[in-house]
Amino acid sequence: MNLTPRLRFKWEKLKASLRSAAEKEENYDTSHRMCPHCRGLISRDASVCPLCDTPLGPRRARGETGAPAGRVMGGVIPIPSTATSVIVVANIALYGVSWYLTQQSAMPGSEGGGDISNAVLVRLGAKFGPYIIYGHQWWRFVTAIFLHGGLVHIGMNLWCLFDLGPEVESLFSTPKFIVLYLFTGVFGFILSLFWSPGGLSIGASGSIVGLIGVLVGASYHHGTLGKDYRSRLWFWVFYILVFGFFGRFIGFPVDNAAHIGGLVSGLALGFFIPEGEPQTRVEETLWSVLALVSVLVIAGSFAMMALQLNINH
């Protein structure tokens, strides 16, 4: 029986709902993905949507439950996709530089153990209110996204980025992902500056919570399936904010203002930005330009950091 794309989409949604109700699964079904054109549930391996015959981009490796393909460490960590991989490498590289500088200094935190000196973080571009406000070093809103204060800090953030990055990049496309990651992180640190003008803050968590916000915002366009997925995402938001509130009492100070800023901006962007690859040449050009500008902003910010580093030393 040949069904129209619309009827086939409804049939696939019904089967997915019945399967979910019968199995009572706790985890979101990662063996399927959503077609960005007709929004039907299709196999994650499909190169062409069987519902609307739309060619799909290369598979983003988030990994299927129980399947080893696209995953490392026995299926624990999914292999990140294109832009996510670059961001992960950049975070690790900056952590290596900051650790080396900490070990070479006589500053607090140079004893070892993976912790990074606050003085080194400030030198490498942490969000530090006085330097931003009085020194006009606005590039710190960008460089701070790629800095971390210790092994636990970077480990937790990269763990989340490994999972969320490929999901958002798959759903929205690589150019949009780059813009979303940068914008939510910067917006988070801007709100952090207003909340705590004299405070020091670093880390990718503003962007990571921003990616959660993007997925929550996009879920409002997907009916019942989106509602089920959204409820799980809101749980993680609640967990992150609660941990941020109590973290300072157990020796893990967390910048909740940056988290809230990333979340709010992500919600808005995820709701209003269309999912999938750009559908017209104009849209494709627009997002390519925005992604290029984002990359140049990141590169320029680190160039400004290096210049300031040379001037002071």
User: 73 in a domain, yes or no?
Assistant: no
User: 76 in a domain, yes or no?
Assistant: no
Task: Tell me, yes or no, whether 17 and 155 share the same domain.
Answer: no
User: 68 in a domain, yes or no?
Assistant: no
DSSP 8-state code for residue 48? B
Task: Tell me, yes or no, whether 85 and 9 share the same domain.
Answer: no
pTM score of the predicted model: 0.74
CA-CA distance, 259 to 209, in Å (whole number)? 6
Task: Tell me, yes or no, whether 120 and 36 share the same domain.
Answer: no
Q: Answer for the pair 202, 149: CB distance below 8 angstroms, yes or no.
A: yes
Q: What are the pLDDT digits (tens) for 25-58?
A: 444 444 566 666 665 667 767 778 777 777 776 5
Task: Tell me, yes or no, whether 238 and 149 share the same domain.
Answer: yes
User: 65 in a domain, yes or no?
Assistant: no
pLDDT at 226: 82
Instruction: Provide the token pair at 133.
Output: 């406000």
User: 97 in a domain, yes or no?
Assistant: yes
Task: Tell me, yes or no, whether 115 and 170 share the same domain.
Answer: yes
For residue 249, give the CATH number of its domain: 1.20.1540.10
Task: Tell me, yes or no, whether 22 and 153 share the same domain.
Answer: no
Q: What are the pLDDT digits (tens) for 142-162?
A: 999 999 999 989 998 999 998
What is the residue type of 134? Y
Task: Tell me, yes or no, whether 3 and 98 share the same domain.
Answer: no
Residues of the chain with pLDDT under 70: 1-41, 44, 57-81, 106-113, 246-252, 311-313
User: 288 in a domain, yes or no?
Assistant: yes
Task: Tell me, yes or no, whether 49 and 168 share the same domain.
Answer: no
DSSP 8-state code for residue 205? H
Task: Tell me, yes or no, whether 97 and 208 share the same domain.
Answer: yes
State the sign of the Cα–Cα–Cα–Cα dihedral 313, 194, 88, 95. positive
Task: Tell me, yes or no, whether 24 and 120 share the same domain.
Answer: no
Stretch (H or E) spanning 275: none
Domain total of the chain = 2
* DSSP SS3 for 305: helix
User: 176 in a domain, yes or no?
Assistant: yes
| Residue 18 belongs to domain spanning | 1-59
Task: Tell me, yes or no, whether 40 and 122 share the same domain.
Answer: no
pLDDT at 250: 54
Q: Answer for the pair 128, 196: CB distance below 8 angstroms, yes or no.
A: no
Task: Tell me, yes or no, whether 53 and 17 share the same domain.
Answer: yes
